[in-house]
Structure 1
């Protein structure tokens, strides 16, 4: 790095220097430090750690964990840096372990599996697999990192057919709190294998994922834009679609009632995909009736192309919350109404072109949970879901920190308004909270159900008895308060 001696003057870095990792450290005076910070998707996550460690090998990660635990230094772990939650993948004044350099991707034709490091993003995985005419159940937005996505469950274009992204992982390599590197599969460390399927960053640092793949090279899909006057029609279309997912498991639909700064108005967005590449799937019959201001749907698209079309704006201050709603027109209509009122509130404080909002509806049919059982199960708690749901996400992306503080309170109040309405209509709000869309004030792991939470705590006690990943690695959604490092 630019100023090696300065690393020794940084207390948080001293243990890493002693462990022989000085060559992989950067501090605020170094260009590599700023490059790492600037590469986070959301400005909300661009905290200022005392130093950043950029390990080049799995052994470097192991040495770092041993050193940090011995010195009782707090740290964060960053994979793709896409999660916008403050402190989930970065830490102010501590040590951030940036896994970006663990970015190898290897496809094995004999096993039809792909192995990759946590530093890659989904578009890179798709690009490599396209050479072999294979798909994998990964992120729908190409710039999303693989690590947090898979450890949080991972909803994909393939969920109705393959289960969640985590259900397609067949092997993990993980560095435990004591620095030991182990391989985790359905047959080796089976308890930890299941815990990692939705249990987030509570057990160690995952340094490699191996996933099963599927044949395929091109999809049918694209994005549509419809005038806001047709919000009611769009809501009826997505509820109809959700009911019919079991009949058309290769078709996916995401609906957004969004404020679009380019038109300075609310519009209805649809993201449509048919993973076999089939055009005119009956699944989209109701959606096809909506008038379109824009329509990019086409055959012969790559996963990379589709990921670019669904990309969110980066380098903004992001607020997002999530709820799981019943697949019911009443509650979805209320959510859209609350979103539109939120836009009016934001306009009173923020210039019209300075923000983006999203009121997203994503089908959560019972078949999603059922698909997970065949692969050994996960900890998400959806296997016994009694009715179809909708993953609802309310986002606000602002240009400045001041605007974001204003927006956060307004978005949070909007969520409470929707929950209050749900209280007047029995059964329209479900308990489950999708971890990858949750705000830090929410409790997604608690929503997995008491038995799954109990299981996760037992596994954490077994593999991390001192609670390192509950306390020294404080970011993200924790299982419990640790003991030794409180």
Structure 2
């Protein structure tokens, strides 16, 4: 059966309002809602927009059926924030757009919140902020709940509460056979563990229950731009005053605010507006010794030569250390000059991957006792003709940083899924023991390998050797 015929069959079964075909307003709106132009350039045969878990179950049964020329490849998207092509859309096939499953419901005592996996974090904060509550969720409006949680999840509340995935009390998930199951600490506990970092390898998550906590105070936030040569001195508030007392490059860009999570999430969008440029990310992990931070800067500085002629480029390496200050190194190629700056940002102490139990997720950080730094490459540029040049430079820079980390004895194989590039072997970085456990889990819940072989996107569990 041709894929377009699958879309026609879905229209007959689910209704034209839930199946968006090329040329329709809904189809074009779905394309324009992706974060990066690279993702938006992928053209599925149709988008399907389920509104209930029953819709999702029906879709999986149809797409995996051997009848009518099946089974058929498909993809699943939530917030659509993953940047690379085919990460959350299936070219010429069916893409399931989960954003219709965006309900937000509280438990009777408001100690937890049940969230549709297609919701975005700003929608959750809009509901929680007026109640003086919050969750350890994403930092940017528009980022999907499902994708961030299944990848681990870094939060402003991480130092106090831990990773986002460790706040997930329970998952509702549609498996490869279309069945709907609940996964929590007592029921399908192996699946609950695997979903905490295991990406889209086991099914389609339709709902997640998160633990809530009181957050009646506003959050304090600051952005300053500082020259590379200044030392860190002084304090105010006790921990942040050294940053504020540094001379800034531009007072107009130095801002200090107290705001709700809703406001902070919306403000973060201004730093990287959807489809305003071409984007990518790649990441690695190391112990942030002084020597390693200096080595990262040296590698970053050396990478400039690979980027000559790239139009509208902002070249950035962001170090998110677990225990010291964030450093954001940037290079702008403009018509007049180049600029290099460091931006100190939010500290993330090592508790971020320990709170909630490092052994209750698949990330493989159980035995790690050192503070870790996640190093993120996050460039932006204007012309698709320079895509491969930027990707190549990013791979080279990542390789250089990793080589330096290994020589200094501070390299860690963990790769943060939500920042990873498509060429990175994320799941392998969770460690051999966890990979074997994930393989066993996949064999139990998806013995045919639907979500490994048929479902586009995500970071797949390695095949058994």
Alignment TM class, shorter chain as reference: 0.7 to 0.9
What corresponds to 1:33 in structure 2? 27
Output aligned runs, 1:103-118, within 5 Å. Answer: 103-118=102-117
Q: 2:428, 2:105 → 1: CA distance?
A: 36
What corresponds to 1:136 in structure 2? 135
Shift of 1:397: 1.5
Output aligned runs, 1:69-468, within 5 Å. Answer: 69-70=64-65, 71-230=70-229, 233=231, 280-292=236-248, 293=250, 294-299=253-258, 301-311=259-269, 312-315=272-275, 316-343=277-304, 345-346=306-307, 348-351=308-311, 354-364=312-322, 365-373=349-357, 377-425=360-408, 427-468=409-450
Q: 1:69, 1:357 → 2: CA distance?
A: 42
Q: 1:185, 1:416 → 2: CA distance?
A: 38
Shift of 1:152: 0.3
The TM-score normalised by the length of structure 2 is: 0.86
1:274-320 deviations in Å (ceiling 9; x for gaps): xxxxx944332543442233332233x11122123333232032221
Shift of 1:415: 1.4
Q: 1:424, 1:9 → 2: CA distance?
A: 50
> Structure 1 stretch 450-459 or stretch 110-119: which is displaced more?
110-119
Distance 1:105 1:187, change over 3 A: same
Give the 3-state SS of the residue equivalent to 2:148 in structure 1.
helix
What corresponds to 1:478 in structure 2? 460
Shift of 1:432: 1.0
Shift of 1:99: 0.6
1:57 aligns with 2:52: yes
Q: 2:440, 2:207 → 1: CA distance?
A: 23
Give the 3-state SS of the residue equivalent to 2:225 in structure 1.
strand
Shift of 1:182: 1.4
Shift of 1:343: 4.4
Shift of 1:86: 2.0
Shift of 1:143: 2.0
Distance 1:218 1:43, change over 3 A: farther
1:54-91 deviations in Å (ceiling 9; x for gaps): 11111111100000000210000000001112212111
Give the 3-state SS of the residue equivalent to 1:10 in structure 2.
helix
Give the 3-state SS of the residue equivalent to 2:320 in structure 1.
strand
Distance 1:289 1:466, change over 3 A: same
Gaps of 5+ in 1: 1-6, 238-278
Q: 1:57, 1:42 → 2: CA distance?
A: 27
State the 4+ residue runs in structure 1 displaced beyond 6 angstroms. Answer: none
CA contact (8 A) 2:20 2:47 kept: yes
CA contact (8 A) 1:217 1:302 kept: no
The TM-score normalised by the length of structure 1 is: 0.83
1:24 aligns with 2:7: no
Q: 2:200, 2:420 → 1: CA distance?
A: 15
